Structure formats: structure tokens, C-alpha cells
Amino acid sequence: MSRITVGVEVPALELSRPVHMSSREIRIPLNAVVAVLQDLNEFVVSLDQLGSRIAFGTAHEHTIGKFIVDWDVARRLSRARHVISVALDEQLSEEDNAEIDAPCDQGRFYGMDSTISPSTDHFS
């Protein structure tokens, strides 16, 4: 199986040991990287196209929701996250993984922000 080395860029402000972490490399099987890149490319290009169509009035704003469901976006993104997580878990210490997990757990999550509520969510 072919493997590719991916340098993991971690924002220096997010980690207590930015120099140590930013110089680390993680190995991920090439076939897994290609599968993730294919998915991400499909999502980026498709969402760009959908956004353009919505902006020009040739698609309804709910089309993005249909795309997400029809193209199984959540599962495919979860698989991409899994590929990266497995590589990190296998190749870094528990301490390093905890340091990476901390800023990831503090991300912005739709529906968990106090400004987003069912009354303002037009897809409900």
C-alpha cells in the first residue's frame, strides 16, 4: 500500500507547544488521502456551484440541504475526519492527541451557538 506523508499544520495560538507540533509529520495511506481529497473536491466545487446558482436566482436556498442529504455529506465528512483521527491516534502520544483535541472540541458548531435557534432556522 502506498503511503503519503502529510505535514499537520496546527495554529500556533491554539496549542501550548506550537514549535513541537508544527514540525511533526503524520503518515496516511495514499488511497485514504485520495479518497478524502476526492470527497472534499466534490463538496467544494458543488457548494460553489450551488452558491452561484442561488446568488443568480436559478436555485432555491433549500437546494444546499438537499445536496447535503442526497450526497451523504455528513457521512463522507465523518469518514474524512476518521482517516485523519486514526493516523493521529496511531502516531502521536495521548498527550499530543489531547492537545490537538482541545481546540477541535472548542470549534463552532451549528445549532450550539446561542444566536442560532429553531425560530431563526429557516430549514426547520
- CA atoms of 5 and 29, how far apart (whole Å): 8
**3-class DSSP assignment, residue 18:** helix
List pLDDT tens digits, range 104-120.
Answer: 998 889 888 655 555 45
List pLDDT tens digits, range 66-96.
Answer: 999 999 999 999 999 999 999 999 999 999 9
What pTM was estimated for this model as a whole? 0.71
**3-class DSSP assignment, residue 84:** helix
Under 8 Å between Cβ of 27 and 86? no
Percent of the chain with pLDDT over 90: 59
- Report residue 47's pLDDT band, with 50, 70 and 90 as the boundaries: very high
